[in-house]
Amino acid sequence: MSQSISAEGDFRTLVGHDITTSKNTIDVTFETEGDIPENGSEGAFGYGLVTGTIKGGLPENVLALTTHLCASDSLEQGNAPVEDCPDGVIGLLEALGFPEGTNEVHDDATFHAHILDLKPSTDACDVDGSLGLEVDLQRTLQTQNNVSPDYDVDVDSESITVSDVPRGDLKSSSFKKASSLYFGITPQFEGNTITNLCLTQGLPAED
């Protein structure tokens, strides 16, 4: 099942997803209706496969493929040119327990994977276009739920694929009720600290 939430013919519109399973791993491909930008020009966004639910049927666990220039939260990112980040880098790696000094060299727009826990939006995520969900930062960090896995992520025009994801990394791996979605990412701050990661429908497609 897929969820389309934007204008026709755009990377924000999902055609669907395909899951290839083996005994120990899965590959997931998301298909879109437009070329997927890889240079950070369209802001922070991603594609997610929801693999588990909490009480009431709300999504709990998501395998997410994301891009966000100048925000550092994955060792799979490279180093963004200084001119691309005039306001500096949002550094999350050190806060997530990675070695000191890693943030500034992992802040480009490279697509990368996360497995994250979700929760219903709090008041902090009452933002335009809210999907009613945000990342449960506390539970994700407590469970060490693959904040920065080294899964292979590849973009090919109107598709994006993550390969060789260990089935044991997902809370639910039956995939009978798996659903896919496009999402925008709206962070909330206190000073230089991110307090909430809100999931939204993202920017509307341009005419």
CA distance 141 to 195: 13
Contacts of 187 (CB under 8 A, 6+ apart): 44, 71, 90, 194, 196, 197, 198
Closest CA to 182 of 114, 131, 148: 131
Q: Are strands 71-72 and 130-135 parallel, antiparallel or unpaired?
A: unpaired
Look up residue 136 and give its amino acid: D
Closest CA to 29 of 15, 42, 39: 15
Which pLDDT score, from 0 to 100, does residue 204 have? 46
Which pLDDT score, from 0 to 100, does residue 202 have? 63
What is the phi/psi pair of residue 84, to 5°? -80, -15
Please list the residues that pair with 179 across neighbouring strands.
Answer: 50
Look up residue 199 and give its amino acid: L
Which pLDDT score, from 0 to 100, does residue 56 have? 75
Look up residue 144 and give its amino acid: Q
Query: pLDDT averaged over consecutive 10-residue blocks of the chain (207 residues)?
Result: 46 93 93 94 93 75 92 92 88 80 90 92 93 87 75 97 92 78 90 85 52
Which pLDDT score, from 0 to 100, does residue 173 have? 67
Give 27: exposed, middle or buried? Use CB within 10 Å, 0-12, 13-18, 19+.
middle
Please list the residues that pair with 120 across neighbouring strands.
Answer: 133
Long-range pairs of 53-57 with CB within 8 A, sequence gap ≥ 24: 53/177, 54/119
Closest CA to 134 of 64, 78, 36, 42: 64
Which pLDDT score, from 0 to 100, does residue 92 have? 82
Domain residue limits, the chain: 14-68+109-200
Contacts of 65 (CB under 8 A, 6+ apart): 30, 46, 47, 48, 111, 112, 113, 153, 160, 162
Q: Are strands 71-72 and 90-91 parallel, antiparallel or unpaired?
A: parallel
pTM over 0.85: yes
